[in-house]
Amino acid sequence: MKIAVVGTDTGVGKTVVTAGLVGALRERGCDARAVKPAQTGFPPDDDANVVATVCDDPDAAVCLRYLTEPLAPAVAAEHEDADLSYQSIQEETAAALTDAAVGVLEGIGGLRVPLADGREVVDLVAALDCFAVVVARSGLGTLNHTALTIEALQRRNVPVLAVVLNEYDGTTIAERSNPHTLETMIDAPVVTMPSVEQADLIDTASERLLPLLDPLPARGAPDS
């Protein structure tokens, strides 16, 4: 099984959701592993290390390549004169995902972020035959970004398991109304994820995220 944790933007909490999901699966005895195709802004950014730390296991996550500039991978590679091809990204990511019973692909920024050779994150998610979990902000402005993200995935025949509104605390009218409003706009369930301490992340993910995975429909190859 392959799941892509994708975001409506950068900084929305993809790593938190990935870490919680992988940790919750591993705690239940499932061989789950997070795969980051490329990490930009390294150091200090290192999403795979965050997942491994939450899971307390270095084998819980892998990053396939690191780039220094905090930019889209294609832009960072060009700026650093680094060799980066979409074919290598796709092949290496596919291999890493199939090394585990449940491979969790963590996206990079939003879906239209350039990876390499004119290809984007959404191309990789579709090519690898993943289910998707969309991570979005909880507050004002998330309706448009989330609906457009869902639309982009559906156009590529990527099944969406759910939208996760991250760092939800319900203190504003926008936050309190967004879950219901989104469910009237999109064909996917909406769940909320509160801000929690790292030590509580796996338990919270077990409660809120694991129900999204049971049961899963059969995932076929996307239509051409």
12 in a known ligand binding site: yes
* Distance (Å, whole) CA 54 – CA 136: 21
* 3-state secondary structure at position 33: strand
Residue 150 marked in a binding site: no
Question: Is 194 labelled a binding residue?
Answer: yes
- Any binding-site annotation on 69? no
Q: Per the annotation, does 134 bind a ligand?
A: no
Burial group, residue 44, by CB count within 10 angstroms (0-12, 13-18, 19+): exposed
User: Of 42, 120, 115, 123, nearest to 75 (Cα)?
Assistant: 115
160 is in an annotated binding site: no
> Which of these, 133, 110, 111, lies nearest to 205 by C-alpha position?
133
167 is in an annotated binding site: yes
| Rounded Cα distance, 135 and 222, in Å | 22
Catalytic residue numbers, as ranges: 36
The annotation status of 107 as a binding-site residue, yes or no, is: yes
**Which residues participate in the annotated binding site for substrate?**
40
**Which residues participate in the annotated binding site for Mg(2+)?**
15, 47, 106
**Which residues participate in the annotated binding site?**
11-16, 40, 47, 106-109, 166-167, 194-196
**Which residues participate in the annotated binding site for ATP?**
11-16, 47, 106-109, 166-167, 194-196
